[in-house]
Structure 1
Amino acid sequence: MSAIVAADRSGSGKTTVTLSLLAYLQQKQFNIQSFKIGPDYIDPMFHQFVTQKPCRNLDPILTSEAYIKQCFTDHIQKADYALIEGVMGLFDGVSPLIDHTPTASTAHIAQILNLPLLFVIDCSRLSGSVAAIVNGFTTLNYNLKFAGLILNKVASDRHLELLQEALEPLNIPILGIIRRQDQIHLPERHLGLVPTDELPQLNTLIEQLVKLAENSFNWEKLLPLFQTEKPVKIQPTLTIPCVQHSVKIAIARDQAFSFYYQDNLDILQQLGAELIFWSPLNDSQIPQNIQGFYFGGGFPEMFAKQLSENLSVIKAIRDQISVGIPTYAECGGLMYLCEEIIDFENKSWQMVGVLPTKAFMGKRLKLGYYQATTLQNSPLFPQETTIFGHQFHRSDLTTESPNPVYKMKRYRQNKDNQTITEGWSFANLHASYLHLHWGNNPEIPTRFLQQCSIFQ
């Protein structure tokens, strides 16, 4: 079995609880596999820092229900324990279905995988009302199974007594009690948590989380809950062809570019790619004899000065793209390929300059799932391909693409939802704000590697 850490709303403590559980299991030297529901990049970095094993994203919009089952089953085969962190509040998702379970919500994944929920509640401003909240969540959808409760931010022994008295008639086990404390804090900024690579004090934080887990949870009941059962492996629903010859792909990965789904990297390798990780921040030259670039998302705006000062790398990238090397860039990668990045202090920094536009930081977060149809051929898609992706950024462009890659509309919104165009494509370059998960579409990286294989 496994369990999903869920909550009544965002900010209730799912990530802190999940990391403390993972840190305790890791400290006991168990083999753990973690998962994160939704399109999140940063929470999985924390999971991986703790477990020393890539976290896997479970997202039915970016992939499919069949892929989620296959991904979960495949990756628990060698694990002793497995744990899934939910997203937002339990029923928060895109649009309500008939059974009151919005698609892409934590509740949706719990039903797909038939797993119990460990329900986290922020009790800081609650006493007797906690029972109404728990009763509402546990009875809205009777297909869901609740293994127990984690009471977070409990102020005192008297506060705990009031909570326990209110919850007793519901007969739901309390498996964890976390006292209110200020020592453990995960720093945030404009796109969520600050990534792990920028937190030198993270080892100390993990030690604090281990102590928290030791003192706060009922491990006698939790360990059997997280212990994996080895189901029969699901026959893959997708066939991944292998490229005939190894293709060398340079993948930008450092503090500025860190948003990659592990499944995307795995699929590239399964297709026959040789992945060469390098740093546009710190390396003095690009990797040699490569046949393609992959620039993921991240925080180039936070490192714009350092990126702009690495002139030899900027020139080398520009030269390679100008002669046609296949290049795929998402979000932060797109920003890096612009002429400039204008940061939050309105300072301008020179970037690669292959896209005739500038990226500037705005005040409004652009967030959501999109259904996109390609308007032209690109290194990733033939024209008129329909895909699903996710946007998550605070920047805009001074000039929109004259020949956009996509026409897009928000996923499962009303019929009057506005269609927008977005993305850049010319020669062998594809750059867009849209993040893609290739798990359900191996033909995307297949086409990219085919383009790369003929580049000399």
Structure 2
Amino acid sequence: MTARLVIAGTTSGAGKTTVASGLMAAFTARGLTVQGAKVGPDFIDPSYHALATGRPARNLDAFLSGPELVPGLLAHACADGTPADLAIVEGVMGLYDGASGRGELASTAHVAKLTRSPVVLVVDAASMARSVAALVLGYKHYDLGVDIAGVILNKVGSSFHADLLREALEPIGVPVLGALTRDERVETPSRHLGLVPVDERDARARGAQAVLAERIAEGCDLEALHRIARGAPDLHATAWDPVAALAADAGTAARAAGAGSAPRGERALAAVPDPVRHAATGAAPVVAYAAGAAFTFRYAENLELLRAAGAELVPFDPLGDAALPEGTDGLYLGGGFPEEHGEALAANAPMRAAVAAHAAAGRPIAAECGGLLYLGRSLDGHEMCGVLPGEGRLGKRLTLGYREATAGADSPLWEAGAAVRGHEFHYSTVTPETTDPPAWALRSRGRERSEGMATPTVHASYLHTHWAAFPGAAARFVRASAGG
């Protein structure tokens, strides 16, 4: 199995993304094929991984996909295309922080154990000297099932400061694998949902990434890091495969339907193993998906499942394109930052009209978060597509967290009663928040609320879902796109 490392942090803001993407860039510059991955549901950090490696980044989220899929998803990512020589997995929050109230579930430590990966702990050492040893010792002994193989000291003030830190850590036997000083040339701008995605600052991000790769190579022991990664034990996992996932899901659904005793929601999401085709023409249905600077949030596996189910995938940019791709049958509007581009989206009246005409013709649409905002009547006063009655506004209150969800109505993606897991992360609000019936009944920490808008042809919601755990959703959408 591919050599691999998990880059964890003592806390959020310790510098995980800087170190992880810098290591990816530095090892790529040395000629290795590097696969990046991110623990958790985040879409933004993986954009920096993809910039550093030239490969699609992946998410390893034990809540969204279920723990059982995590090793196979990593194996799939490393085997896709040119096999990776090295996988670098960036953690989430602090090493042991996971889904609220669920113990270690979905934490960096959990994913490290699931993937049998050594951990390199990034420590924000800006205001520390000897105390760093107590901190690292606590992290090392908190869970002996986690292999903390060394630390990288970040935000070090000087070479003298670095020497003090190394001296403090030497007695506890945790190797110092790097020491990095602050450098404004590689600082990544942030805003309300975290870092600014690469697609919105491509040229500047590339320049910063090149500087970062040099800094990491100078400040870290790449040979020692690579040696630790190569020492990771065998993963003992079969690579996840979208075609096999669809077939397995179809078989499960068929057995449940044949038994006649499973609840409707559990019988739902039946997939068709053979690629879906238009009944009349035999052609593959065309699924257009939103891309460009305003729509950068989508899981790679969702697209892979759509393709495996039979769709021809074609990207389009709602900011610059005047029309949907020729022959569009289904429309997939993922998340992103349409609120940062409201004026430009409104100015592209031909595209808004094309989306509205697609909906009026009864063709299927799946929309997540940013896509929901784009389908509404307006966004911060800017005219949107008018497919749905929602008025969107950017607020100051963050809605964040994992959700258990039950589909409230039949839609192109889900059958009413389907039970799934998802994630919300937004500052915006939509009024009305839901239709009757809603897209979802969402549950979190003992509370339940309705959310989203669903019709027989449109499913729109703030909830992000990772279809590797629910492959039948992709098959259902492709069938709907083919007119089935």
**TM bracket, shorter-chain basis:** over 0.9
Q: Give me the whole-angstrom Cα distance separating, in 2, the residues matched to 1:135 and 1:233.
A: 31
Q: How does 1:94-105 map to 2 (within 5 A)?
A: 94-95=99-100, 102-105=104-107
Q: CA deviation at 1:398?
A: 2.1
CA distances 1:27-84 after superposition (whole Å, capped 9, x unpaired): 1121111111000101111111111100111001110122111111223241111110
- Decide whether the 8 Å contact of 1:243 with 1:450 is kept in 2: no
Q: For residues 297-336 of structure 1, what are the structure 2 equivalents within 5 Å?
A: 297-336=335-374
Match of 1:162 in 2: 164
**How far apart are residue 140 of structure 1 and its match?**
0.6
**Are 1:431 and 2:460 an aligned pair?**
yes
1:138-177, Cα deviation, whole Å (9 max, x unpaired): 0011111111110111112332232122212111111111
Residue in 2 that maps onto 1:408 = 442
- 2:264 aligns to what? none
Asked if 2 retains the 8 angstrom alpha-carbon contact of 1:380 and 1:444, the reply is: yes
Give the corresponding residue for 2:14: 12
Measured in 2, the distance between the counterparts of 1:163 and 1:235 equals 41
Separation of aligned partners in 1, 2:32 and 2:18 = 19
Q: Is the 8 A contact 2:115 2:235 kept in 1?
A: no
Work out the number of aligned pairs and report it: 442
Match of 1:223 in 2: 226
Q: Counterpart in 2 of 1:234? A: 238
Q: Residues 30-41 of structure 1 correspond to what in structure 2 (within 5 A)? A: 30-41=32-43
> Residues of 2 paired with 1:183 and 1:147: CA distance?
29
1:28 corresponds to 2:35:
no
- Secondary structure at 1:257 match in 2: coil
User: In 2, distance between residues paired with 1:11 and 1:74?
Assistant: 29
Listed one character per residue, the Cα deviations across residues 310-333 of structure 1 (whole Å, up to 9, x for unaligned) are 111111211110120000000000
Matched, 1:380 2:413: yes
Identity of aligned residues (%): 37
Output the CA distance in 2 between the equivalents of 1:374 and 1:327.
16
- Which amino acid is 2:336 matched to? G
Specify the SS of the correspondent of 1:2.
strand
Structure-2 change in CA distance of 1:68 and 1:16 (3 Å): same
Aligned to 1:405, the other structure's residue is in SS state strand
* CA deviation map 1:220-257 (0-9, x unaligned): 21122234887666175834423332211011111111
The answer for unaligned runs of 5 or more in structure 1 is 343-347
2:184 paired residue among 182, 185, 188: 182
Determine the C-alpha separation between the residues in 2 that align with 1:428 and 1:90. 42
For structure 1, which segment, 332-341 or 86-95, has the greater mean C-alpha deviation from structure 2 after superposition? 86-95
1:244 to 260, 276, 282: 276
Distance 2:307 2:172 in 1: 50
Q: How far apart, in 1, do the equivalents of 2:290 and 2:78 lie?
A: 29
Structure 2 residue 319 is matched with structure 1 residue 281: yes
* Higher normalized helix content (fraction of residues): 2
Aligned to 1:368: 401
- Residue type of the partner of 2:409? Q
Number of the residue aligned with 1:213: 216
Q: Pick closer, same or farther for the CA change 1:420–1:25 going to 2, 3 Å.
A: same
Given residue 377 of structure 1, which amino acid in structure 2 is its aligned partner? Answer: D
Determine if contact 1:359/1:395 at 8 Å carries over to the other structure: yes
Secondary structure in structure 2 of the residue aligned to 1:153:
strand
Q: TM-score under structure 1 normalisation?
A: 0.94
Amino acid of the structure 2 residue aligned with 1:390: H
Secondary structure of residue in 1 paired with 2:109: helix
Tell me how far apart the structure 2 counterparts of residues 363 and 74 of structure 1 sit (CA, whole Å).
39
- Alignment CA distance shift 1:450-1:358 (3 Å): same
Any conservation in 2 of the 1:318–1:353 contact (CA below 8 Å)?
yes
Aligned-pair RMSD on alpha carbons? 1.6
CA contact (8 A) 2:362 2:457 kept: yes
Specify the SS of the correspondent of 2:186.
coil
CA offsets 1:356-395 (integer angstroms, 9 cap, x no match): 1200110011110000111211111111111000001111
- Equivalences for residues 17-96 of structure 1 within 5 A: 17-77=19-79, 78-95=83-100
Question: Contact (CA 8 Å) 1:74, 1:233: kept in 2 or not?
Answer: no
- Residues of 1 paired with 2:234 and 2:174: CA distance? 27
Deviations 1:245-273 (A, max 9, x none): 22110111111111010111111111111
Residues 408-438 of structure 1 show CA distances to partners (whole Å, capped at 9, x for unaligned) of 111xx3xxx2211001012301000000100
Distance in 1 of aligned mates of 2:366 and 2:239: 30
Aligned with residue 447 of structure 1, among 473, 476, 479:
476
Q: How far apart are the structure 2 equivalents of 1:121 and 1:442?
A: 38
* 2:355 maps to 1:355: no
Moved more, 12-21 or 308-317: 308-317
- Where does residue 259 of structure 1 map in the other structure? 297
CA contact (8 A) 1:36 1:85 kept: yes
Are the equivalent residues in 1 in contact too, given 2:402–2:424 (CA < 8 A)? yes
Assess, with a 3 A threshold, how the Cα gap between structure 1 residues 139 and 434 changes in structure 2: closer, same or farther: same
The residue type equivalent to 1:358 in the other structure is E
Supply the distance in 1 between the matched residues of 2:233 and 2:134 (Cα, whole angstroms): 34
SS at structure 1 position matched to 2:208: helix
